[in-house]
A and B are shown apart, each in its own frame.
Chain A
Amino acid sequence: MTALIEIERFTKRFGAFTAVDDVSFSVDRGEVVGFLGPNGAGKSTTMKMLAGFVTPTAGTARICGKDVVDDPVAAKRSLGYLPEGAPTYPEMTVTGFLHFVARIRGYRGIEAGERVEDAMELTQLESVQLQPIETLSKGFKRRVGLAQSLLHDPPVLVLDEPTDGLDPNQKHEVRELIRRMAPQKAILISTHILEEVEAVCSRAIIIAGGRVLADGTPASLTAPGESLEQVFRTMTMPKAAA
C-alpha cells in the first residue's frame, strides 16, 4: 500500500477562528475516502489546503510524495481538483476551456486533443462541446468541472461535492465513474449525502469543528442496526440536542 495523499497536522486559523485544527490522515491508492461533516466543519478548507489554494497556518501535506507547501507546482501535477461549486470560465466553450487546461498541463497538439476527447467522453459532454459554458445547465457545468479534473488522468483526485446539483441519473453516472477509477487512484470526496458514502466510499472520515471525529470503513463506524446518518447526527450535533 502506498499513501498518495498524506496530510500532516493541517491547521488553518482565520484570526481567532480555527477552521481546521490539527487534521492528519492519509489516503492510499485504491481507496475512496468520503469526507463528511456539517457545513462549516472545515471540509472545504482542508481540501483547499491540499490543492495548494489556501496556505496552511501550520502543518503540511504531500501528494505522491511532493510537498504542497514547498513544491506546489509538482504536487499539483499529480492532482485533479474539483473546487466547490465547480467554477469554470462562462464565456469559453467546453472544448475551448478543456484545451486551455490541457495546455497548462503541458499537453500539445494531437495529444491535447485526445486528452480533451477522453475527458469529454468520461463525463458525457460530447453533445455540448461547442457551446459556451454559460449556456449550459447546472449538471453540465458540474461535469465540465469534473472533466477538467480528470483530463490528465491524475493519480490523486480531490473532489469537493462532485454530485451537488446533479439529477439522480447524473449522480449515478458520477458514482459509477468514481467506482471505475478507484482501483488506480487515491480519491477524496466531500459530500453531504450519506448514502453516497455507503455507495462509493471504502472509508469515511467525519469532521466537525475542524477536528477529525471518526475515521474508518462505513461499516465499522456504525453499530449493528444503526445507520450512518444516526452516527453522523450523534457525533456532529451540539451535545444538548444529541
Chain B
Amino acid sequence: MGALIVARRELAGYFATPVAYVFIVIFLMMAGALTFTLGGFFARGQADLGPFFTFVPWLFLFLVPALTMRLWAEERRLGTIELLLTLPLPQWQAVVGKFLAAWAFCIIALLLTFPLVLTVNYLGEPDNGVIAAGYLGCLMVAGAFLAVGAAMSATTKNQVVAFVLAVAVCFLFAVAGSPIVTEFLSQRLPVLAEIARAVSITERFNSLTRGVIALRDLVFFASFMGFFLFVNAVVIDHRKAD
C-alpha cells in the first residue's frame, strides 16, 4: 500500500539526519532524569512507573512537534510536495503515511525506555498490566500530538512556525482539563468548561496510567487523531500549490 511506502521513506529520512538521534537521546535522558529526581522514583517506595508516566506527555509536548515540523513544511520548501502529489498515490495515503512514520518513530523511542521496566521489576513486584496500559497511554498521547503537529506543518513552509503552532495547539489540549482552566471557565462560561474537560488529553492519559483501559478513551484518541489527519488532508488539498 502507498501509505506504507511513504511511511518507510519518511522513517528512513529521520535516521538519515541527526533528528532521530538527538530526539532519542534527549527523550531518554530527560525521561530518566525527571523520573529519578523530580519524580522521586526511589523515595516513593512504590514499585510502579507513575513518575515516568507523569512526565512523558510534557516531554512529548515539546519533542513531538520537533518530529512533525518538517513533515510537510520541508516538502513545501524543497518543492518535493509537487513530486509526491503528482505520483499515482491518493492524497490521504501520503497524509497517513507521514503520520505512521512519525508514530513508528515514537514507538521506537518508547521501546528504548525498557530499562525502566526492568529496573522496577528487579526492585519490586509491579503490576505489569498497569505499566502496559501506561505505555498504551503514551502511545495515544504521542499519536494525538503527532496528528496535531502534522496538520500544523501542512499550513506553512517554515519549520519554526510549524513547531511553535504545534506546541501551542498541543498545549491547549494538554491543559484543557486542568483545574485552573476548568475552574476559570466554569465561573464564567460553564458550557465551555464541560467542553474543555471533554477534549482534555491529560485526563484520559491519567486514567490509562492508572491501568483503566476504557473503550471511550480509546475511541476519543482515535477520533482525535482522525480529525486532525482529516484537517491535514484538507489543508494539503487546498493549499498544496501555494
Q: Give the B-binding residues of A (Cβ under 8 A).
A: 48, 51-54, 73-74, 76-77, 79, 81, 83-85, 87-92, 96, 100-101, 103-106, 145, 148
Once the chains are docked, how many angstroms separate the CA of A103 from the CA of B87?
A: 11
> Which A residue's beta carbon lies closest to that of B9?
A100
- Are B5 and A77 touching (Cβ within 8 A)? no
Once the chains are docked, how many angstroms separate the CA of A145 from the CA of B87?
A: 13
Question: Residue B79 contacts which of A74, A85, A96, A104 (CB distance < 8 angstroms)?
Answer: A85
Once the chains are docked, how many angstroms separate the CA of A81 from the CA of B86?
A: 7
Additional 18 contacts, C-beta under 8 A, given A105-B87, A148-B83: A48-B82, A48-B241, A51-B82, A51-B86, A52-B85, A53-B85, A73-B88, A76-B89, A79-B86, A81-B86, A83-B83, A83-B86, A87-B80, A88-B83, A90-B78, A91-B13, A100-B9, A106-B88
Q: How far is the CB of A234 from chain B (nearest CB, A)?
A: 32
> Given the complex, which residues of A lie within 8 Å of B86, measured CB to CB?
51-53, 76, 79, 81, 83
The answer, yes or no, to whether B16 is at the interface (CB within 8 Å) is yes
Question: For the side of the interface on B, what is the size category?
Answer: 20 to 34
- Are A92 and B83 touching (Cβ within 8 A)? no
> Given the complex, which residues of B lie within 8 Å of A89, measured CB to CB?
9, 13, 78, 80
Interfacial residues of chain B within 153-184, with CB under 8 A of chain A in the complex:
none
Produce 1/0 per residue, B68-83, CB < 8 A to A: 0000000000111011
> Given the complex, which residues of A lie within 8 Å of B13, measured CB to CB?
89, 91-92
Q: Give the A-binding residues of B (Cβ under 8 A).
A: 2, 5-6, 9, 12-13, 16-17, 78-80, 82-83, 85-90, 240-241
> Given the complex, which residues of A lie within 8 Å of B83, measured CB to CB?
83, 87-88, 145, 148
> Which B residue's beta carbon lies closest to that of A96?
B12
- Are A87 and B82 touching (Cβ within 8 A)? yes
Once the chains are docked, how many angstroms separate the CA of A54 from the CA of B12?
A: 29
Q: Can you offer 21 A-B residue contacts whose CB atoms are under 8 A?
A: A51-B86, A53-B82, A73-B88, A73-B89, A76-B86, A76-B87, A76-B89, A79-B86, A81-B86, A84-B79, A87-B82, A87-B83, A88-B83, A90-B78, A91-B16, A92-B9, A92-B13, A100-B5, A101-B87, A105-B88, A106-B88
> Given the complex, which residues of A lie within 8 Å of B78, measured CB to CB?
87, 89-90
Q: How far is the CB of B200 from chain A (nearest CB, A)?
A: 38
Q: How far is the CB of A11 from chain B (nearest CB, A)?
A: 15
Q: How far is the CB of B95 from chain A (nearest CB, A)?
A: 15
> Which A residue's beta carbon lies closest to that of B77?
A87
Q: How far is the CB of B76 from chain A (nearest CB, A)?
A: 10
